[in-house]
Structures are given as C-alpha cells and as structure tokens.
Structure 1
Amino acid sequence: MADSPPRIVRPLSPHLQIYRPLFTMMMSIVHRITGCALYFGTALLVWWLLAAAASPTAYALFANVAGSWIGRLVLLGYTWALLHHAMGGIRHFIWDSIHGFGPKERLLYAQASLAGSIILTILVWVIGLAVKA
C-alpha cells in the first residue's frame, strides 16, 4: 500500500461563543426564526379557511379560539412574523441589486426592518380593530 500523506492540522472554525453578537447577526437569526414560525403559523390560515368552508359551528369554534386572549396573542405574533420576514426579504432584495453592503448601510437596513415590522404590525392591528368596531 502506498503511504497516505500526513494529515494536515487545521484550526477549528469559530462559533457563536467566540463572536460578539451584533445587531445585524441577531436580525439574520430572527429572519430565519420568523420563516420557521410562518411555516407553522400557516396552519392557522388553513384552519380558518377549512372552518369557513365546513360549517358555521366549525367557524364559531375557530372564532372563539382566535378571539381569546391567547389566540389574539398568537395572531399578533403571526402578524409581526409575517411583516418582519417580509421586511427582511426587502432588505435581501436590495442586497441582490448589489447595494447596501457597507457596515453603516447594513445596520441601517437591519434597524429599518425591525422598526418597520413593529410599526406596520401596530398599524395593521389598529386598522383591523377599527374596522371590526
């Protein structure tokens, strides 16, 4: 048998315990988390549509669950996750056009996506509650 070359000892890649958490890093992680939350939260939309198509009793059950305080809290979180993920998508779309790669621009876009998602969530809920009343 031929002798194999000696194994090269390479340094290990640093992980989260080495890096100082940056705002842009946290927003990247939150973007992934909201994507997963939207995957599971879509079951709420399916339940709503199936309940509306099935019977008044099924829709009443959904309305009771969604209208409870915990149901509204989940819907509020789903609304924020949807808008935050969309704002992150807009940020990525800007990057796809080869703009905003500087450190100041990255931080500004990350802050804008967080602030925009919070403001839009409040706006959607205020309008929704005003229309309902």
Structure 2
Amino acid sequence: MAGHDAREAIMKGRRTDGSIVQRPISPHLQAYDMLQMTSALSFANRATGVGWSFGLVFLVWWLAAAASGPRAFGAAQWYAGSWLGVITLFLLSGAAWFHTLNGVRHLFWDAGYGYDIPTTYRSGWMVLIGTAVLTVLTWVIAIIAWAR
C-alpha cells in the first residue's frame, strides 16, 4: 500500500456514540511557538527540573564533603564561594523559585482554574515576576545574613 503511514493505526479512536474518529498526532517542537507564554513556560519548567537534578548533585557533593572532613569540605566551600559557584547557586535559587511558583500554577490548573487565555498569560507573568523578585530577595537576605 503506497503512502500508508503505520502510525494511522494508533490514531483511530471512537467517540462516545461509537463513531470512528481520527486522532491527531502530537506535534513536534517545530510546531510550537516558543515565544508564546504557555510554550515558553512549559519548556522552562522542564529545564528548571533538569537544573534541579544538577543542583541535587551539587548538594550531595557538599554534604558528602562536610561528612568527609575539613579538607574535602574546604574544597566544596571554595567552589561554592568562587564566581562560578556563586553563579551556580544564583541560577539554582532562580530555578527553585520558578519551579515552585509554576508548580503552584499547575496545581490551580489541576483544580480546573485558570485555563482561559487571559488568565493563563496573567498567571504566567506572575510566575516570571515572582521568580525574579523572590530570587533577588533570597540573595539580599542571604548577603545581609552573611555580612553580619
């Protein structure tokens, strides 16, 4: 059969009345407008989740170094205090706030609220602004506490 796509077999479904319906194939990344709020935040949520995975590796390294003794802990503290370590910690704190706030947004969606487009964009902007404000506030508090 020329032109037959094997995926068509899994695209067949039935409506509640029993009639056959052709299901759409989920589009790939090229079909999404990444400048659209919902697509961009969906991608960012996945990216911050991956970032959290690397952050956990950093945390485990730091805890293992603390348990291993002063020399290992000194090396971990040196990295955390270096310019690269500070950037890593800053990005991890931003990822933490974004992932948390976007998670709350998803909880509202799970409860059935906020699906209309204006509310989706408003809550998206709230997540972005909240992430920026809370990340900066976290670092201001940390710097003030460290300077004491």
> Do both share a fold (TM > 0.5)?
yes
Distance 1:20 1:50 in 2: 43
Shift of the 12–24 alpha-carbon distance from structure 1 to 2, 3 Å rule, reads closer
Letter matched to residue 37 of structure 1: G
Q: 2:37 is matched with which residue: 23, 31, 35?
A: 23
Post-superposition offset of 1:8: 7.0
Q: 1:68 is matched with which residue: 64, 68, 82?
A: 82
Shift of the 59–13 alpha-carbon distance from structure 1 to 2, 3 Å rule, reads closer
After superposition, what is the alpha-carbon deviation per residue over 1:43-82, rounded to whole angstroms, capped at 9, x for unaligned? 1111111111110111111111110001100110111111
Question: Which structure ranks higher in relative contact order (CA pairs < 8 Å, sequence separation ≥ 6)?
Answer: 1
Q: TM-score, normalised by structure 1?
A: 0.87
Q: TM-score, normalised by structure 2?
A: 0.79
For 1:34-73, list aligned pairs within 5 A: 34-73=48-87
Distance 2:124 2:79 in 1: 34
After superposition, what is the alpha-carbon deviation per residue over 1:74-103, rounded to whole angstroms, capped at 9, x for unaligned? 110111111111111000011111111110
Give the paired residue count.
129
- The answer for the alignment partner of 1:100 in structure 2 is 114
Distance 1:86 1:43 in 2: 19
In the TM superposition, structure 1's runs of 4+ consecutive aligned residues that sit over 4 Å from their partners are 6-14
Distance 1:35 1:16 in 2: 18
Post-superposition offset of 1:13: 5.6
Distance 2:135 2:50 in 1: 18
Unaligned runs of 5+ in 1: none
- Aligned partner of residue 17 in structure 1, secondary structure: helix
Tell me the C-alpha RMSD between the 2 structures.
Answer: 2.3
Distance 1:43 1:24 in 2: 29
More strand by share: 2
Letter matched to residue 89 of structure 1: G
